[in-house]
Every structure is written in C-alpha cells, then in structure tokens.
C-alpha cells in the first residue's frame, strides 16, 4: 500500500522557507567553521598541521574557501550542484583524514566510527541538495 504524504506535511515541504531552512541547517556548521577559521588564521593553520596536511597554510585557505563558498552557492540556490559538490568532496576527504577509525581501538574507535559515518550522511545530504535543486529548476523553468 502506498501512503500519500499528509496535506499539512506536504504544504510545509513545499514552502520556499522550508527549502531555505533545510539548506541553512545542512551548511550551518561549515559557515561557522569558515568564519571561525577566517578570524583565527593561526588556529586554522595549526588545525591543518595537526592532521598532517602540508603546506598547512594552503590547506587552511582551501578549507576556508570551501566552507564559505560552498554554503553560499547552496543557500543562494545558484550553482547549488557546485556548492554541494565542494562540500561533499571536502566532507568525504575530512572523514578519511580526521576519522581514521580503522587505525584505532576501544572508545576512540567507537567515536571515530560514528563521526566517519555521520560525515557520510552529510555527503548524502549534499547529493540530495543537488538533486532537489535541479528538480526545482526544471519545475520552475
């Protein structure tokens, strides 16, 4: 049996503000991270060095760019596929660099495994943003 979405839920899902708030929720941590790194350059460079990324300043600049440009494209719903791709690739790379659970034991492994798969869930969210943005563009054309 196929169940239709209840009308009140469908109405909420069709609101433009819902589309914007969902995208804002998805990218909020990236926006905050980009602003914090931009205002604490030394901390941003130190973070990259901590993860063994060299030259740390270059990786800090690339991280800040991804964390600010990607969300802007998604929130503006202009080239959302590009912003989603930027953040999806960034998030996937970060998952492997920062959450290498396969090298850990005990509680550390448990926590890193959870974080790794949370990152994969975010990647899926970015793919969905690109899909929905494309569908909305075709619908509105």
Give the pLDDT of residue 2.
Answer: 56
* Residues 26-83 pLDDT 10s: 999 999 999 999 999 999 999 999 999 999 999 999 999 999 999 999 999 999 999 9
DSSP per-residue string spanning 19-54:
HHHHHHHHHHHHHHHHHHHHH-HHHHHHHHHHTT-S
In degrees rounded to 5, what are phi and psi of residue 19? -60, -45
| Number of other residues whose CB lies within 10 A of the CB of residue 99 | 19
Say how far apart CA 19 and CA 70 lie, in whole Å: 17
**pLDDT confidence tier of residue 129, bands split at 50, 70 and 90:** very high
Give the pLDDT of residue 140.
Answer: 85
Exposed/middle/buried for residue 65 (C-beta within 10 Å: 0-12, 13-18, 19+): middle
**pLDDT confidence tier of residue 125, bands split at 50, 70 and 90:** very high
Give the pLDDT of residue 40.
Answer: 98
Angle at 46 between CA 39 and CA 109, to 5 degrees: 115
DSSP secondary-structure letter at 24?
H
pLDDT at position 128 over 80 = yes
Long-range contacts of 101-105 (CB under 8 A, 24+ apart): none
pTM (two decimals): 0.92
Q: Which residues contact 51 (CB under 8 A, 6 or more apart)?
A: 97, 98
pLDDT at position 1 over 60 = no
Mean pLDDT score of the chain? 96
Give the pLDDT of residue 141.
Answer: 78
Give the pLDDT of residue 68.
Answer: 98
């Amino acid at each position: 049996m196929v169940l239709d979405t209840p009308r009140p839920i469908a109405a909420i899902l069709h609101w433009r503000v819902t589309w914007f708030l969902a995208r804002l929720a998805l990218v909020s941590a990236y926006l905050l991270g980009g602003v914090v790194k931009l205002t604490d350059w030394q901390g941003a460079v130190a973070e990259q060095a901590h993860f063994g990324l060299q030259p740390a300043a270059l990786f800090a600049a690339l991280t800040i760019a991804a964390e600010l440009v990607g969300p802007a494209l998604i929130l503006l719903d202009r080239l959302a596929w590009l912003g989603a791709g930027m953040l999806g690739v960034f998030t996937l790379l970060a998952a492997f660099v920062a959450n290498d659970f396969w090298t850990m034991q005990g509680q550390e492994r448990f926590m890193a495994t959870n974080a790794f798969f949370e990152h994969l869930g975010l990647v899926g969210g970015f793919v969905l943003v690109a899909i929905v943005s494309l569908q909305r563009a075709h619908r509105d054309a």
